[in-house]
């Protein structure tokens, strides 16, 4: 979006300062091309996916597992219902179920309904119970974003005397989510999933632009900006 706005700015500048406008447009298009390459997306992702897979002996030191929602789909006719979790959400649930079977820790599912209707947490619980045969002890259903995920989940956990959790979310989302829970007095053992970075070995395809690489670059930049904001505040 920022690149598009820069191009528009360049076009406006061309009306009065042609040379400067062309420089802005060319720079913006070059940035767009660079951000669309898997090489740049991988570089941005690698610098924010700082937590690796959690070890089983560390999991046993926690009191609960918290899995964050990743959005729901309101159109899932193939499942015979109106709600379903997406690929990222399913990966989180699957990993949380795996950790639960290893540790026996109770699970809190977090996620409200920003657009109305059924909460993410309720949909997550349904997947846990029907597809993985794992019970969910707590539901956090009021949040609209990660800030509120952390705030409301911490309040629920505090009432049960829980101060140390295993947090399950995407690897790229983990630094921000972890910091937000810690700001609410929770000790976080990060258990990331959905790693997006690939091998560091060079491949010709890494410099070929693609829509998926641009989406990853955008996600990484968004997380960097959001994490910086959280650190400041």
Considering only residues 219 and 140, tell me which one the structure prediction assigns the higher pLDDT.
140
Q: Give the tens place of pLDDT for each residue, 177-223.
A: 999 999 999 999 999 998 877 655 656 667 777 888 888 888 888 88
Q: Which residues lie closer than 8 Å to 121 by C-beta, 6 or more apart?
A: 69, 109, 110, 111, 112, 139, 140, 141
For residue 133, the number of C-alpha atoms closer than 13 Å in the C-beta half-sphere is 1
More confident residue, 79 or 34: 34
Q: How far is CA 34 from CA 42, 46, 201, 207, in A?
A: 12, 16, 18, 8
More confident residue, 87 or 207: 87
What pLDDT is stored for residue 5 in this prediction? 57
Per DSSP, 66 falls in state: E
Q: Where are the domains of the chain?
A: 2-48+206-232, 56-193
Which residue is associated with the tokens 């046993």? 60
State both tokens at 152.
Answer: 């409301």
pTM of the model: 0.82
Contact 66, 108 (CB under 8 A): yes
Mean pLDDT estimate for the chain = 83
Give me the percent of the chain exceeding a pLDDT of 70. Answer: 79
Using an 8 Å Cβ cutoff, are 97 and 81 in contact?
no
Confidence (pLDDT) at 208: 79
State the pLDDT at residue 210: 82
Most confidently modeled range among 116-125, 155-164, 219-228: 155-164
Would you give the DSSP letter of residue 82? S
pLDDT for position 73: 62
Output the pLDDT for position 23: 67
What's the confidence (pLDDT) of residue 74?
A: 58
Positive or negative: CA dihedral 202, 203, 209, 215: negative
Given a cut of 60, whether residue 10 has pLDDT beyond it is no
For 56-193, give the CATH class: alpha beta
Closest CA to 195 of 45, 75, 57: 45
Average pLDDT over residues 90-98: 94
Rounded to an integer, the average pLDDT of 10-26 is 63
* Confidence tier at 95 by pLDDT (50, 70, 90): very high
DSSP line for 45-96? HHTT----PPPHHHHTT-SEEEEE---EES-BGGGTBS-EE-HHHHHHHHHH
Residue 1: what pLDDT? 52
Give the other-Cβ count within 10 Å of 77's Cβ: 8
Q: What is the pLDDT of residue 184?
A: 96
Residues 6 or more apart whose CB falls under 8 angstroms from that of 232 comprise none
């Amino acid at each position: 979006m920022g690149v598009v706005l820069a191009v528009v700015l360049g076009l406006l500048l061309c009306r009065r300062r042609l040379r400067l406008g062309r420089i802005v447009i060319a720079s913006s298009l070059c940035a767009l091309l660079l951000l669309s390459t898997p090489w740049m997306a991988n570089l941005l992702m690698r610098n924010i996916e700082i937590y690796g897979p959690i070890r089983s002996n560390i999991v046993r030191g926690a009191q609960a597992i918290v899995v964050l929602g990743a959005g729901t789909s309101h159109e899932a006719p193939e499942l015979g219902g109106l709600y379903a979790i997406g690929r990222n959400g399913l990966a989180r649930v699957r990993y949380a179920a795996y950790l639960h079977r290893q540790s026996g820790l109770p699970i809190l599912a977090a996620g409200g309904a920003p657009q109305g209707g059924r909460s993410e947490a309720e949909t997550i619980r349904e997947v846990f119970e029907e597809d993985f045969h794992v019970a969910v002890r707590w539901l956090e259903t009021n949040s609209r974003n990660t800030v509120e995920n952390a705030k409301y989940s911490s309040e629920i956990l505090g009432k049960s005397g829980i101060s140390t959790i295993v947090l399950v979310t995407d690897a790229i989302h983990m630094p921000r989510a972890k910091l937000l829970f810690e700001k609410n007095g929770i000790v976080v053992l990060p258990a990331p999933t959905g790693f997006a970075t690939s091998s560091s070995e060079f491949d010709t395809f890494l410099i070929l632009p693609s829509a998926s690489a641009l989406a990853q670059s955008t996600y990484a930049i968004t997380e960097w900006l959001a994490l910086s904001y959280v650190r400041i505040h």
